[in-house]
Structure 1
Amino acid sequence: MSTDESRFESDPDEIVGEPGLPSGWLIEAPDPSDRFTLARLTQLLRDHERSGRGWAASGVDDVLVEVSEAGLRTRENVVVRDRDGTIQAWGSVHDRAGGRMLFLHIVSRELPEGLGRSCSDVLVEWAVGQAQAVGGARGLDVQQIDTGAFADDDRQHRWLAAAGFSKVRTWWQMSRPVTPAEADLVPSTELWETDKARFRTVRRAGDGMPDDDDLRGVHDVLEGAFVDHFNSWEETFEEFLHRLREDPGHRWDHWWLAEVDLGDGNGATAVGALIGTVSEASGGPDGSYVSYLGVLETARGRGVAKGLLHTIIADAASRDRDRVGLEVDADSSTGADGLYVAMGWKTKYVTQSWHREVTVEA
Structure 2
Amino acid sequence: MNGHADPLASLDPRLRWRAAGTADLDDWAALIARTAAVERPVWFERRADLEQVLESRKNPAAANTIIGFDAQGAARAYARITKNPDGEKAIGYGCVDPEWQGRGIGTGLLGWMEARTRQRFAEDAVAGAAARLRLHLEQQHTHQAALFGDAGYRIVRYYNEMHRPLADGFPEAVLAAGLELVGFGPELHEPVRLAHNEAFRDHWGSEPRDEEAWGFVVNDPLARPDLSAVVVDQASGRVAGYQLASHDAVSARLRGYKEGYTDLLGVRREFRGRGVAQALLADAMRRFAAAGMDKASLDVDSENPTGALALYTKMGYVAVNSSMAWDKEL
* 1:271 equivalenced with 2:240 (yes/no): yes
Q: Does the 8 A contact of 2:184 with 2:230 survive in 1?
A: yes
Distance in 2 separating the partners of 1:178 and 1:33: 42
- What is the Cα deviation at residue 276 of structure 1? 1.2
Query: Secondary structure of the residue that 2:208 maps to in structure 1?
Result: coil
Pick closer, same or farther for the CA change 1:103–1:65 going to 2, 3 Å.
farther
Q: Does the 8 A contact of 1:98 with 1:235 survive in 2?
A: no
Distance in 1 separating the partners of 2:317 and 2:73: 44
Instruction: Report the equivalent of 1:216.
Output: 190
Instruction: Report the equivalent of 2:55.
Output: 70
Instruction: Report the equivalent of 1:98.
Output: 86
Query: Secondary structure of the residue that 2:274 maps to in structure 1?
Result: coil
Deviations 1:284-310 (A, max 9, x none): 664211111111222211111000101
Query: Secondary structure of the residue that 1:219 maps to in structure 2?
Result: helix
Please list every run of 5 or more consecutive structure 1 residues that lacks an aligned counterpart in the other structure: 1-8, 187-191, 204-209
Q: Does the 8 A contact of 2:164 with 2:318 survive in 1?
A: yes
Please list every run of 5 or more consecutive structure 2 residues that lacks an aligned counterpart in the other structure: none
Larger deviation: 134-143 or 313-322? Answer: 134-143
* 1:290 equivalenced with 2:280 (yes/no): no
Query: Secondary structure of the residue that 2:207 maps to in structure 1?
Result: coil
Pick closer, same or farther for the CA change 1:161–1:57 going to 2, 3 Å.
closer
- What is the Cα deviation at residue 330 of structure 1? 1.4
Q: Does the 8 A contact of 2:27 with 2:75 survive in 1?
A: no
Distance in 2 separating the partners of 1:135 and 1:98: 9
- What is the Cα deviation at residue 275 of structure 1? 1.3
- What is the Cα deviation at residue 127 of structure 1? 1.0
Larger deviation: 223-232 or 239-248? Answer: 239-248
Pick closer, same or farther for the CA change 1:352–1:193 going to 2, 3 Å.
closer
What TM-score do you get using the length of structure 2 for normalisation? 0.83
Pick closer, same or farther for the CA change 1:304–1:24 going to 2, 3 Å.
closer
Query: Secondary structure of the residue that 1:158 maps to in structure 2?
Result: helix
Pick closer, same or farther for the CA change 1:342–1:218 going to 2, 3 Å.
same
Deviations 1:77-107 (A, max 9, x none): 2223345544332212223563232211322
* 1:302 equivalenced with 2:274 (yes/no): yes
Which of 16, 28, 31 does residue 18 from structure 2 map onto?
A: 28
Instruction: Report the equivalent of 1:144.
Output: 132
- What is the Cα deviation at residue 344 of structure 1? 1.5
Which of 145, 152, 155 does residue 143 from structure 2 map onto?
A: 155
Pick closer, same or farther for the CA change 1:65–1:42 going to 2, 3 Å.
farther
Letter in structure 1 aligned against 2:33: T
Distance in 2 separating the partners of 1:193 and 1:18: 55
Query: Secondary structure of the residue that 2:110 maps to in structure 1?
Result: helix
Q: Does the 8 A contact of 2:34 with 2:97 survive in 1?
A: no
Q: Does the 8 A contact of 2:31 with 2:97 survive in 1?
A: no
* 1:38 equivalenced with 2:10 (yes/no): no
Letter in structure 2 aligned against 1:232: S
CA-atom RMSD in angstroms = 3.1
* 1:247 equivalenced with 2:235 (yes/no): no
Instruction: Report the equivalent of 2:179.
Output: 197
Query: Secondary structure of the residue that 1:235 maps to in structure 2?
Result: coil
- What is the Cα deviation at residue 26 of structure 1? 3.0
Query: Secondary structure of the residue that 1:301 maps to in structure 2?
Result: coil
Q: Does the 8 A contact of 1:249 with 1:278 survive in 2?
A: yes
